[in-house]
Chains A and B, each alone.
Chain A
């Protein structure tokens, strides 16, 4: 696939591998004494820890101002990849350049990458330094001081996430969704060139997600680069330029979102769903790719064909037979599930 050549390269990963070592235990609860016994036993028997791979041979390039959506089932390696890109987990094999330098080649490069990259975790991971007994504002202020963030920007972000009325409220008295907004306000206080989001919208209400989408649009306008891992791509997909799909540590797809849907739907990006009162099936012999189930049929076609096909369907049906006709643009999520099903 030919990369779109606009903007500097921000992330260049080539054949990236990350292994994890898992100690095999000889039964019993894993505590320190059993671990020591196990360790000695393994050494004596010449057995070593088993190795599993969270990332296998992953290559991709992200350019400046690009928005990349990262998808994959649980255990695909999304968080591991984000940690590597954030400079907090070294890779095992391959090569990686962020802003033109390998972050793990020297301490200076690592510091520089950590300064320019921000990893925004979800609510469950992001409250490490928050205290439930303190107000939202106090939590933000203290944590900003600890992490060296700009408190004014954190308050601005809190405002953006509609937290103004809750600044004096004890964090412990807030709902999970509001705490999630506080977490986002804190982490977005770091001004970065590359933002890495790790399922940040978990626990956000629909209006919270809408505010979050606005923020992403704002980041896009500012020309920031974003890599965003999620399990719910549909509502955000129009903000993103590219999609990276991982499964069991391997890269399955990397390209533009349009390329992805075209690859999966093969041009048939629209669905005409027809429901009839009885089994009158003539309609199902019409053009397009037809999928029949009982009295219901789905005709898949391209959006340009949809109008003509719909007219043809309507004219060919006898009055009183049709219960419902719907024209649905096929969703990104559908493409993702179909793709994953095939690739698996």
Chain B
């Protein structure tokens, strides 16, 4: 156990060095532009809200400021959507034999295996640094909200704990979907084009999960479909806790808990099946 943990720390550390040594240009050149873009996006929404009659009507109906509503939606969705598509893209890069000459093929996964590094360490390492980047962006969103739009969150210990619990449940459920997607990808064994599971979930989450507007505004049929997405429940609960200050007795976390158990389980089984199929098929494809 300790050896595995040490290995994981070593991989994460080395990946961090790679990131900071090779991608420092990101922080110098790309990151500032991303921040400007982010502020412009929030302003855009602010002007939309004003153009549609101001925040008063929205606040009256949903008991929450629309910009605050939007900020929580965007921050949480970044994490959740990364989980849905992140595992798929990491697995694709790992198992795709991109380094090839003529008949020889050696994938990252094979490369790492030669040094006794299992693919899960690489997967966790990549996700760790992507979470790190997403956390920085989340902090900037919160700062812009706090300084520019009067965002005040319910940060009582109970509220924070509950928000954290909800967030973790959402993360686990979406990681499950990500594993389903990666499993399908490995099982089918085609390394080109979009993977339908993560593509569909990401598309639906944009429209019906309530990232940008309340789910209640959707037609009733779409509202039912929205219940399938863990995004919907996570966002609703987070907003209720952090913006309205609701307690656990007023939240409906049941579906999210079921999803946080069911999706990873299905994802794990499919991923294992996909891996089995992948190794049976071999890499000479």
Contact = CB atoms under 8 A, between A and B. Distances in A.
Contact of A31 (B13, B100, B112, B190): B190
A155 to B, nearest CB: 17
A95 interface: no
A20 B115 contact: no
Given A30-B192, A32-B188, A115 B116 contact: yes
Interface in B90-121: 99-106, 108, 110-117
A146 B11 contact: yes
Which bracket fits the contact residues of A? Answer: 35 or more
A66 interface: no
B8 to A, nearest CB: 12
Interface residues of B, number: 43
A199 B104 CA distance: 10
A128 B114 CA distance: 13
A20 B281 contact: yes
Which of A22, A32, A127 has the most C-beta atoms of chain B within 10 angstroms of its own C-beta?
A32
Contact of A36 (B17, B192, B196, B280): B196
B44 interface: no
A121 interface: yes
A35 B18 contact: no
Contact of B285 (A20, A114, A149): A20
B193 interface: yes
Main SS class of interface, A:
mixed
A157 interface: no
Interface string A27-70: 00111111110010000000001000010000000000000000
Contacts of B285: 20-22
Contact of B114 (A18, A21, A86, A143): A86
A286 interface: no
B14 A79 contact: no
A113 to B, nearest CB: 10
Given A22-B285, A121-B106, A131 B115 contact: no
Contacts of A302: none
B5 interface: no
A142 B17 contact: yes
B101 A80 contact: no
Contacts of A129: 18, 111
Interface of B: 7, 10-11, 13-15, 17-18, 21-22, 99-106, 108, 110-117, 185, 188-190, 192-196, 279-285
23 contacts: A20-B281, A20-B284, A21-B281, A23-B189, A29-B192, A30-B190, A31-B190, A32-B192, A33-B193, A49-B281, A89-B282, A115-B116, A119-B114, A121-B106, A125-B100, A131-B18, A138-B21, A142-B18, A146-B14, A146-B117, A147-B112, A147-B117, A148-B115
